[in-house]
């Protein structure tokens, strides 16, 4: 599975600059509203030093990191759902993303126009929240019309369950609340909720775009955002997007680290963003390693061995027999699979094994 994130925000808050930081795509970035017309699509590798270590040991023909896909749409403005601006028509492009990166302007600069005339990230957050909620309300109303007859006259039990969930979503949205405030009552409802692809049901990371002076510790704007979202179970990332875009252009590792140290940072904003997204979505990584390929795979925390096998190929899950598991630390210590096996450090695990972050796995299957 590949993590997919959608970037939203008002015009001129740094969305496209952030996109350029974290993506192999290069979005246009300029000082005027609606600079982004078409949605920008890009991807970036998930930085993981463990994969580099495994590659040094195995000397494989290829190294394949996990990836994050990024979608950047036009800036949303107040009234977008009624036709203002350009952004609303592109919301469909982020409907199937796993998480939302909500960029908030948290810096002062008279040379960069703010669409509302002043810097107020909490106000800006409210504008975007409202537009996403209105879009979701349209979706919910349409689905209610579709399943209501089936639920009330057709005796369809699944339709009744879906209608009950949709009505709860409608109530929340009409009260100005996001869909994520409605908690699914059963695993079946949880799956229904996922299949609706509602924008305000997605986990959110608030990316506070600051100037260099606030890159390490934030500022008053960031603190205001932190207070506003304290009950949302959301991630907050402080990032100087313009400077991060310059860091991303530096190819030499030591020069890049020196630049970060000058800002008081240990890691780049890109690394922290991806780590935050994994934490937000409760994701983790396992590896396959050998002479042909070293590869990182993304799964949910709590996934069992057959589900992890299915990420590689559906046949692996369907015909799962067992998994051979080596802990990352043991592989690094013993260097080869044969040495790990000889030391009695290889685990033979069945269908109930819960995969741990960093596990190196080999699956046996029969279909």
Token pair recorded at residue 298:
């993304």
Give the per-residue pLDDT at 250.
Answer: 80
Report the side by side order of strands in the sheet with 320-326: 62-64, 293-300, 283-289, 360-365, 320-326, 347-349
Confidence (pTM): 0.84
Residue 24 pLDDT: 52
Chunk the chain into consecutive blocks of 10 residues (it has 367) and report each block's average pLDDT, rounded to whole numbers.
Answer: 84 84 50 45 86 96 91 64 51 82 93 82 94 92 91 81 95 94 92 93 95 92 96 90 83 81 83 89 95 96 97 96 97 96 97 98 94
- Compute CA 249 distance to the chain's CA centroid, rounded to the nearest angstrom: 23
Burial tier of 64 (Cβ tally within 10 Å: 0-12, 13-18, 19+): middle
Q: Quick one: pLDDT at residue 255?
A: 83
What pLDDT, on the 0 to 100 scale, is given for residue 266?
83
Closest to 221 measured CA to CA, from 128, 117, 106, 114: 106
């Amino acid at each position: 599975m590949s993590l997919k994130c959608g970037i939203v925000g008002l015009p001129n808050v740094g969305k496209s600059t952030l996109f350029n930081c974290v993506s192999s795509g290069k979005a246009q970035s300029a000082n005027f509203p609606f600079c982004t017309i078409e949605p920008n699509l890009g991807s970036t590798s998930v930085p993981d030093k463990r994969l580099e270590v495994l590659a040094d040991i195995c000397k494989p023909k290829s190294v394949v990191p996990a990836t994050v896909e990024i979608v950047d749409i036009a800036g949303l403005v107040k009234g977008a759902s009624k036709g203002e601006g350009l952004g609303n028509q592109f919301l469909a492009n982020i409907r199937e993303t796993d998480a939302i990166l909500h960029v908030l302007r948290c810096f002062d600069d008279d040379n960069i126009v703010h669409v509302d005339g002043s810097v107020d990230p909490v106000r800006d957050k409210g504008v975007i929240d409202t537009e996403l909620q209105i879009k979701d309300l349209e979706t919910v109303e349409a689905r209610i019309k579709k399943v209501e007859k089936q639920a009330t006259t057709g005796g369809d039990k699944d339709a009744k369950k879906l209608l009950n969930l949709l009505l709860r979503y409608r109530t929340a949205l009409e009260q100005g609340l996001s869909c994520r405030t409605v908690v699914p009552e059963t695993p079946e409802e949880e799956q229904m909720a996922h299949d609706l692809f509602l924008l305000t049901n997605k986990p959110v990371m608030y990316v506070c775009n600051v100037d260099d002076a606030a890159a390490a510790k934030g500022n008053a704007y960031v603190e205001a955002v932190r207070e506003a979202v304290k009950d949302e179970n959301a991630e907050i990332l402080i990032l100087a997007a313009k400077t991060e875009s310059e860091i991303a252009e530096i190819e030499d590792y030591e020069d890049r680290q020196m630049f970060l140290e000058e800002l008081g940072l240990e890691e780049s904003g890109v690394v922290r963003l991806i780590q935050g997204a994994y934490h937000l979505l409760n994701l983790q990584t396992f590896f396959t390693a050998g002479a042909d390929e070293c590869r990182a795979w993304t799964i949910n925390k709590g996934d069992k061995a057959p589900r992890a096998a299915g990420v590689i190929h559906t046949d692996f899950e369907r015909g799962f027999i067992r998994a051979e598991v080596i802990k990352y630390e043991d592989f690094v210590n013993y260097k080869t699979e044969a040495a790990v096996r000889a030391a009695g450090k290889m685990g033979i695990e069945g269908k109930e094994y819960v995969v741990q972050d960093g596990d190196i796995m080999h699956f046996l299957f029969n279909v």
